[in-house]
């Protein structure tokens, strides 16, 4: 399966999620790539849209290698990738230092994307976490754990494409998984999109502006 772009993937996912329309859903995007996908789902379900702010905790000297993920919250949720931590021989001091850097980056992302925008309450609701694809699942796992802590009634992960290994692990965190494609040969998320250009901050902010948070 190949998608034209993230909006196309979102429309196809929305069709698979129509049964959630009557379950008091709230759609949570993993920014920034998950936002164009999640916007299509929120529109189809007439649901509020918010973000689940997550920062990858990169391994020392290999910032693209996720040894964990950090999700906003009081306190923030830290999900460790023990396999990477062990294989790379990362000690606790190095992990703590990288986590602190991720915390600073997380707060910066919150200011840039959300400013003073009120957050959508998810307690007692059907939370649908959306991304443009899942490779390792580290960020999605951390976000699902944080959503549980915030009191969501149910937690659904909805993605256009994912690796089979990540899906197997994420089934332990989610009440439901909706994934349109889980190919045996995964490679990278970008392989499954004709247009996978980066989502910039201004585009992400504009998407959120189309879905003002419900009045309290």
Give the pLDDT confidence of 127-143 residue by residue, as tens digits.
Answer: 999 999 998 888 898 89
Tell me the CATH number at 102. Answer: 3.30.1310
Mean predicted confidence (pLDDT) in 49-57? 93
Of all residues in the chain, the percent with pLDDT exceeding 70 is 100
Q: Residue 105 pLDDT more than 70?
A: yes
Strands (E), 91-134: 126-130
Q: In the sheet that 49-51 helps form, which strands lie side by side, from edge to edge?
A: 49-51, 25-29, 126-130, 154-161, 176-181
Query: Are 32 and 43 in a shared domain?
Result: yes
Q: What is the pLDDT of residue 37?
A: 98
Which run of H or of E encompasses 197? none
- pLDDT at res. 73: 82
**pLDDT value at position 40?**
98
Q: For the segment 64-99, what is each residue's pLDDT rounded down to a tens digit?
A: 778 888 988 878 888 888 888 998 899 999 999 999
Q: Are residues 199 and 101 in the same domain?
A: no
pTM of this structure: 0.91
Indicate if 41 and 62 belong to the same structural domain. Answer: no
How many domains does the chain divide into?
Answer: 2
Residue-number span of the structural domain to which 97 is assigned: 55-110
32 and 119 part of one domain: yes
Is residue 146 within 8 Å of residue 72, measured between CB atoms? yes
Q: Are residues 60 and 160 in the same domain?
A: no
The answer to whether residues 67 and 171 belong to one domain is no
Same domain, 121 and 143: yes
């Amino acid at each position: 399966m190949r998608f034209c772009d993230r909006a196309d993937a979102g429309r196809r996912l929305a069709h698979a999620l129509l049964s959630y329309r009557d379950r008091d859903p709230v759609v949570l995007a993993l920014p920034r790539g998950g936002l164009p996908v999640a916007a299509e789902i929120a529109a189809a379900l007439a649901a509020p849209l918010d973000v689940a702010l997550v920062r990858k905790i990169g391994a020392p000297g290999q910032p693209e290698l996720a040894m964990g993920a950090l999700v906003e919250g009081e306190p923030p949720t830290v999900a460790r990738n023990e396999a990477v931590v062990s294989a790379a021989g990362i000690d606790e001091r190095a992990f703590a230092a990288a986590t602190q850097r991720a915390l600073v980056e997380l707060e910066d992302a919150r200011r840039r994307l959300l400013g003073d925008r009120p957050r959508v309450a998810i307690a007692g609701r059907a939370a649908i976490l959306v991304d443009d694809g899942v490779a390792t699942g580290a960020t999605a796992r951390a976000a699902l754990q944080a959503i549980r802590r915030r009191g969501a009634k149910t937690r659904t992960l909805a993605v256009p494409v994912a690796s089979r290994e990540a899906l197997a692990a994420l089934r332990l965190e989610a009440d439901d998984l909706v994934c349109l494609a889980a190919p045996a040969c995964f490679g990278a998320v970008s392989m499954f999109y004709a247009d996978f250009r980066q989502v910039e901050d201004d585009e992400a902010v504009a998407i959120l502006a189309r879905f003002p948070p419900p009045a309290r």
